[in-house]
Amino acid sequence: MSQCDARLPQAEVSLAEFTTWRVGGAAEWLAEPVSLDETQAWIQWAMQQGMPCRIIGAGSNLLIDDDGLPGLSLCLRKLQGLQLDETDGTVEVLAGEPIPSLARRAARAGLHGLEWSVGIPGTAGGAAVMNAGAQGGCTAEWLESVRVMPLDGGDCFELRSDQLDFAYRHSRLQDNDLVVLSARFRLEPGHDPNELKRVTSANLSHRTTTQPYQQPSCGSVFRNPEPLKAGRLIEEQGLKGTRIGGAEISTMHANFIVNTGHAQADDIARLIQLVQDRVEAQYGIRLHPEVKRLGFASAT
């Protein structure tokens, strides 16, 4: 295992501090690789131990069961780094790089394409997996390829954007046991950095003034049933401010569930279920969460 031979991952680590909701039980084992070699080594270690390996990026769009997770939880938030070419617009980024820092770096370099993403509380790898989007933009428009590794310890390989089956908040990466190690974006060079920075800052200001960014949340909970908006459907049911335990449907934006201080993952899961049931009973529409659930016996 080269870099990992002399040590083991941490045992019985609370995952609440590794998610933006600040909930979740303990990981049986937790590792935070800082390089591609180390990431691959930990995946191989889990395979050799015969244990499951689950990927955690920035912990946004993630709900972890209160009972925690068996096996190895691999947190990639320290796997950061990016290189950009101001001439041709190519951006090479490691999976754990925060989307906001990527957006700002691109804007400063005069590269157009990611201004919409500055308020997304996730990583480059997570954005590729989820086809993250906001403000009318989405990852699929600008992603050229990803480098991935099977969670069974197989060899790394590259997938082009046209091989990822992108759809609204979806990619084939959600359905395969693959971990994104890095991503390549192709942005538009030659734009005015000052104008890009202005637009980026305006987008961030809009998000922070219309969404509850001062409280722990996962961002938007439900996918929009286009052309309708999930938040509007939830609000029309009078559900803003509804609480279960320490979880609350935000009074600022109905498509956000916030942790008011002492929420459990089960509180959030039950609130998600309540919203789905109420909206379906009224409109015949089943809202589908953007949130990935880990450790639960059944999916929402």
- Give the pLDDT confidence of 53-104 residue by residue, as tens digits: 999 988 988 999 999 999 999 999 999 999 999 999 999 999 999 999 999 9
Q: Cis peptide leading into 227, omega within 30 of 0?
A: yes
Q: CA–CA separation, 257 vs 272, rounded Å? A: 8
Beta bridge partners of 27: 13, 69
Catalytic residue flag (residue 86): no
Which position among 117, 161, 217, 220 bears the catalytic label? 220
From the CB of residue 156, how many other CB atoms can be counted at a distance below 10 Å? 15
Q: What is the pLDDT of residues 169-208, one digit of tens each?
A: 899 999 889 999 999 999 999 999 999 999 999 999 988 8
Q: CA–CA separation, 118 vs 126, rounded Å? A: 14
pLDDT of res. 136: 86
From the CB of residue 281, how many other CB atoms can be counted at a distance below 10 Å? 10
Which position among 32, 38, 248, 290 bears the catalytic label? 290
Lay out the sheet containing 247-249: strands in order across: 243-244, 247-249, 257-259
Q: What is the pLDDT of residues 242-270, one digit of tens each?
A: 999 999 999 999 999 999 999 999 999 99
Find the distance separating the first CA and the last CA of the chain, reported in whole Å.
37
Q: Which two tokens stand for residue 118?
A: 């500055």
Contact 122, 218 (CB under 8 A): no
From the CB of residue 284, how many other CB atoms can be counted at a distance below 10 Å? 7
pLDDT higher than threshold 60 for residue 5: no
CATH dotted code for 230-294 = 3.90.78.10
Residue 162 backbone phi and psi in degrees, to 5: -75, -5
Q: In percent, how much of the chain has pLDDT > 70?
A: 97
Catalytic residue flag (residue 290): yes
pLDDT higher than threshold 80 for residue 159: yes
Indicate the class that CATH gives domain 2-75: alpha beta
Domain boundaries, the chain: 2-75, 82-210, 230-294
pLDDT of res. 176: 85
pLDDT band at 7 (very low <50, low <70, confident <90, very high): low
More confident residue, 45 or 213: 45
Quote the pTM value. Answer: 0.90
Q: Which two tokens stand for residue 112?
A: 């157009």
Catalytic residue flag (residue 145): no
DSSP 285: -
**Considering the domain 82-210, what is its CATH architecture?**
2-Layer Sandwich (3.30)
Which position among 104, 169, 207, 293 bears the catalytic label? 169
The angle at the Cα of 175, spanning 174 to 180, to the nearest 5 degrees, equals 50
Beta bridge partners of 84: 91
